[in-house]
Amino acid sequence: MERIYQDEGPDALAKIGLLSDPRNFASTNLFGLFDEKGVRLAGNLKAPPEVPGWMRKDFEGLYPEPNGTYLITSKVIKGGKTVAVGRSLTPITNVLRVLLLTVLTTAAAAAVIRMLVSYSISRQTFAKLEAMTGTLEKVAGGDLDARVVVGRGSEQLDKAARLINGHLDHLKHVVESNKNTINAIAHDLRSPLNRVSILLDDALAAGDASFTAAKLLDAQAEIENLTEIFDTTLRISRLRASAGQEGFSMISLSELVIEMGEIFAPVAEDHGDTLIVETHPGPPLKVFADTRMVRQMLVNLIENATNHCPKGVTITLRVKATDSGGVVEVCDTGPGIPVGQRLAVLEPFERLDRSRSTPGTGLGLALVAAIAGRHDATIELDDNEPGLVVRVIFPLADTEAKLSNL
């Protein structure tokens, strides 16, 4: 407008049709052209602004219609005339009002949705916790088969449910094992207790002091045997019920087998047997284990072979490495164990019929199985053609990770 005024004069500015007829102005636009005295020459603004420049001002009675708050600017141009232009802020205010309302409505809706989702999640969580509580109450009431329903997700409650079910499986195994052990004790220890009772009765009835002393010594031997049985039974129960790896370290199976071979080779020779040691070639084969337990396991397996095989058998102690882990084998060339009875002999007090006449309590292989379970090892009974192979497979051990946990 200033350029039009400068180029063509005030008449050209005043005569522009758009500006000279206020009806051509939209209600959001504001324009005014005033002379030196403030008389309106064109536009819909009745009077010039009091101060030139930008301002925010409320108008009433604008010509012909627009009213409200405007953002305007004015300038004195050549010839002392004043030109003013402006734009109504009402549309912006309306947009801001709609935007604010939209934001508030969206926030309210989001809050409601969030509350509903939180309520749904909390209900699901509460339902899962109730299910866990109900399952544990059933187990406490004697239902050892009750298990927590596990979802397919990977959230913490599902992980906890899997962990609970794992412990419940272990608890059921321990309880059933203890129950079987108690039943076996009640059945298999009846004869030794009867023998002790008979020996004591004979000692009391005897008139000869030497005969009485002999009977008492026999009774004492039976009682010592009973004590050993109870100690072994308790040890098996503790091994089956215990967890954790206290006392474990990285041990060399090769060195341990060589040590046991040196100890038991003379014993086997005295029995008329031959003991052979076959070690793993190369570096010593190491596993994460308890040295005393593994040594006890080897002792039981060697004694089991010498006690239940006829004289003249060959017993082989073998260490080897497989993809599954470190393997210890105790092999003999005796009569072996029928396939259908190999799992049974790993339970306490289980003995083959032919072994009833030999010394023993049926706890040797049960203790071996308990020690293997304590180490997360797998025990297998296989055919040696002829004879028996007892194979214990220790899991692979990450040396650095194991040592860091000690």
Domain spanning 243-404: CATH 3.30.565.10: yes
- Axis-axis angle for helices 209-241, 190-205 (nearest 10): 160
Say what the pLDDT of residue 404 is.
Answer: 40
Position 323 pLDDT exceeds 90: no
Note the pLDDT tens digit of each residue in 70-120: 899 998 887 788 888 888 888 888 889 999 999 999 999 999 999 988 888
The whole-number average pLDDT for the span 56-74 is 75
Say what the pLDDT of residue 362 is.
Answer: 60
Position 400 pLDDT exceeds 50: no
Note the pLDDT tens digit of each residue in 228-268: 666 666 666 666 666 666 778 888 888 888 888 888 888 88
How many angstroms separate the CA atoms of 346 and 353, rounded? Answer: 15
Classified as helix, coil or strand, 145 is coil
Nearest in space to 335 (alpha carbons), one of 311, 317, 357, 316: 311
DSSP letters spanning 72-122: EEEEE-TTS-EEEEEEESHHHHHHHHHHHHHHHHHHHHHHHHHHHHHHHHH
- Longest Cα separation, the chain: 158
pLDDT band at 349 (very low <50, low <70, confident <90, very high): low
Say what the pLDDT of residue 359 is.
Answer: 52
User: What is the distance, to the nearest Å, from the Cα of residue 331 to the centroid of all Cα atoms in its chain?
Assistant: 39
Q: Which of 341 and 230 is assigned the larger pLDDT?
A: 341
Tell me, yes or no, if the two domains 2-88 and 243-404 fold the same way: no
Note the pLDDT tens digit of each residue in 269-314: 888 888 888 887 777 788 888 888 888 888 888 888 888 888 888 8
| Domain boundaries of the chain, sorted by first residue | 2-88, 95-174, 189-241, 243-404
Query: What is the dotted CATH code of the domain comprising 2-88?
Result: 3.30.450
Unique residue bearing structure tokens 């129950």: 179
pLDDT band at 406 (very low <50, low <70, confident <90, very high): very low
Contact between 317 and 303 (Cβ < 8 Å): no
How many angstroms separate the CA atoms of 322 and 329, rounded? Answer: 12
Position 42 pLDDT exceeds 80: no
| 366-to-155, 347, 363 alpha-carbon distances in Å | 39, 5, 5
Contact between 350 and 311 (Cβ < 8 Å): no
Unique residue bearing structure tokens 């449910």: 161
Position 355 pLDDT exceeds 50: no
Q: CB neighbours (10 Å) of residue 17?
A: 7
Position 405 pLDDT exceeds 50: no
Sign of CA dihedral 186, 191, 195, 197: positive
Contact between 369 and 298 (Cβ < 8 Å): no
Note the pLDDT tens digit of each residue in 141-200: 888 888 888 876 557 778 888 888 888 887 887 777 667 666 666 656 666 777 778 878
Contact between 242 and 290 (Cβ < 8 Å): no
Tell me phi and psi for residue 349, to 5 degrees: 70, 10
Burial of 42 (0-12, 13-18, 19+ CB in 10 A): buried
Position 392 pLDDT exceeds 60: yes
- 197-221: b (≥16 Cβ within 10 Å) or e: eebbebbeeeeeeeeeeebbebbee
The whole-number average pLDDT for the span 57-64 is 67
How many angstroms separate the CA atoms of 352 and 284, rounded? Answer: 36
CA angle 384, 388, 392 (to 5 degrees): 100
Note the pLDDT tens digit of each residue in 324-338: 778 888 998 888 888
Note the pLDDT tens digit of each residue in 219-229: 888 787 777 66
pLDDT band at 322 (very low <50, low <70, confident <90, very high): confident
